[in-house]
Structure 1
């Protein structure tokens, strides 16, 4: 596929790519709805993460074979996928016990990790505005939780949830700096395969009762998390992110947060207070 090249050659390429990342971010923002529904079915957090990536890995596996000549780039993609898959387990664990808005605000610190990793690993020195934006995101994470929304018992889950923005930040950086030799679908395939490989040891050690949903509605949630919040948004993200670069990708991705707020508000009747909306406005 030459979708990325066609977008890049278009005079409206950066705008279309930015809109594509925003649309993908809305899809990612629906994750708490599916994840909390599946945890209520008794599924383990890592099994939910596994389903999220396994369908994409299966569907797109032939593209890895086609791109086998670029094996170094494929290995970078596998490593990035493993970090994202394992990190995402922490986010699911947090969504189980804390308000979606609180977990979402912490997850949205991933632009900070993205800029730091890009600087340390690839010498992509952040500009002044990017540094200011990162400080604003950290401020939002500090003021976001409402008084009483987070208790001492929530702190371990929230600390573990930081593995998700760390893994996603690494994934964005690798996507921009190391996967340009691959076609869009090969990039997505390598990352999805990496997530599956990274999660496989946890899956093998998990009882069957925690691997599968127990109802028909649970399987619909599996389909939703696999396609509506994973495969389709990931395809958009993978095609569009290299067109607009690291920093702009991180900024456009912030639209995931208000989507999470709305999911928590409408799906789980979690009131979104002034602190959360201020944090959301600062991040966007």
Structure 2
């Protein structure tokens, strides 16, 4: 096959896979919204972590020689910071606010990653990115002061923003302490560690009554598709087009999250939500521009 057809194939596959990944991660907030009232955040997150780790376990097993005991000293806390606690915060927020709220807050991860790299790891931030951070945070303020169906969603916004802050910290820790390890295997390791962190809370908060089939289906999809398979897709994209281009999926997640919640759950999309989303996504776009 010549170089031109190969390039055309890559150009065709990349936007399709980015769109599909954005739709999958957008669906995750819908699945949480449906499942968390029946499972509670701790049991739901435990199911998500275990199923996601099981999907990726073959990659960890194949690369097990690259994971000596000293590696786990970093993998265990990264699992807590980058998976367990953020997942719980997003699930907790999904009990109290429309699915679009968590999806919009999730876009802040890119900004928080830049801020943490500047504050704690000595990376330069530049005036353009600093202004983008201010604009993005103003979007969070707009979102936190919004009301949906007459109810305040400020607590859910704070939980979503804190989850994104932890994602931003996790990105920096992964970059500095998991470099050189196979990404899918590292994801399996951190998800497995996160499931162990969450196990005591999940056992003590396991649902006492019957859980509807729809909630079970959403929980399984959240773990298998939105965590395990989505991680595989994301790492394949990173390998093929690089982390900068792969991170553009950030712009698609809030759009799909809000659209699915509106179409399938009938949740409203308010003017303040649109304004906050525009401020946050706009600031992300400016901060990532070279």
Into which bin does the TM-score normalised by the smaller protein fall?
Answer: 0.7 to 0.9
> Are the counterparts in 2 of residues 14 and 244 from structure 1 also a CA contact under 8 Å?
no
Q: Give the structure-1-normalised TM-score.
A: 0.79
Q: Of the candidates 32, 51, 66, which is equivalent to residue 69 of structure 1?
A: 66
1:270 paired residue number: 267
Please list the CA deviations of residues 24-75 of structure 1 after superposition, one character each: whole Å capped at 9, or x if unmatched: 33321111221121123x2111111111121122243354353343434454
Q: Aligned pair 1:205/2:230, yes or no? A: no
> Are the counterparts in 1 of residues 29 and 100 from structure 2 also a CA contact under 8 Å?
no
Alpha-carbon distance in structure 2 between the residues aligned to 1:280 and 1:154: 15
Alpha-carbon distance in structure 2 between the residues aligned to 1:131 and 1:32: 29
> Are the counterparts in 1 of residues 56 and 184 from structure 2 also a CA contact under 8 Å?
yes
Specify whether residues 215 and 271 from structure 1 end up closer, same or farther in structure 2 by C-alpha distance, changes over 3 A only.
Answer: closer
Cα deviation for residue 79 of structure 1 reads 2.3
Alpha-carbon distance in structure 2 between the residues aligned to 1:14 and 1:119: 34
Matching of residues 77-156 of structure 1 within 5 Å: 77-83=75-81, 84-144=83-143, 147-149=146-148, 154-156=153-155
2:49 paired residue number: 53
Cα deviation for residue 257 of structure 1 reads 0.9
Alpha-carbon distance in structure 2 between the residues aligned to 1:123 and 1:70: 28
2:185 paired residue number: 186
More divergent stretch after superposition (262-271 vs 101-110) = 101-110
Q: Aligned pair 1:229/2:231, yes or no? A: no
> Secondary structure of the equivalent of 1:162?
helix
Please list the CA deviations of residues 200-228 of structure 1 after superposition, one character each: whole Å capped at 9, or x if unmatched: 12113224527xx6233332222211122
2:286 paired residue number: none
Specify whether residues 248 and 229 from structure 1 end up closer, same or farther in structure 2 by C-alpha distance, changes over 3 A only.
Answer: same
Q: Provide structure 1 residue ranges, at least 5 long, that are not aligned to the other structure.
A: 1-9
Cα deviation for residue 174 of structure 1 reads 3.0
Alpha-carbon distance in structure 1 between the residues aligned to 2:252 and 2:205: 34
Please list the CA deviations of residues 75-126 of structure 1 after superposition, one character each: whole Å capped at 9, or x if unmatched: 4333222212212211111111122233333333222221122234433323
> Secondary structure of the equivalent of 1:271?
coil
Alpha-carbon distance in structure 1 between the residues aligned to 2:9 and 2:237: 12
2:158 paired residue number: 159
> Are the counterparts in 2 of residues 17 and 244 from structure 1 also a CA contact under 8 Å?
no
Specify whether residues 219 and 102 from structure 1 end up closer, same or farther in structure 2 by C-alpha distance, changes over 3 A only.
Answer: closer
Alpha-carbon distance in structure 1 between the residues aligned to 2:266 and 2:255: 15
Cα deviation for residue 158 of structure 1 reads 3.5
> Are the counterparts in 2 of residues 113 and 169 from structure 1 also a CA contact under 8 Å?
yes
> Are the counterparts in 1 of residues 36 and 95 from structure 2 also a CA contact under 8 Å?
yes
1:36 paired residue number: 33
Alpha-carbon distance in structure 2 between the residues aligned to 1:94 and 1:30: 15
> Secondary structure of the equivalent of 1:97?
coil
More divergent stretch after superposition (266-275 vs 149-158) = 149-158
Specify whether residues 139 and 23 from structure 1 end up closer, same or farther in structure 2 by C-alpha distance, changes over 3 A only.
Answer: farther
> Are the counterparts in 2 of residues 113 and 170 from structure 1 also a CA contact under 8 Å?
yes
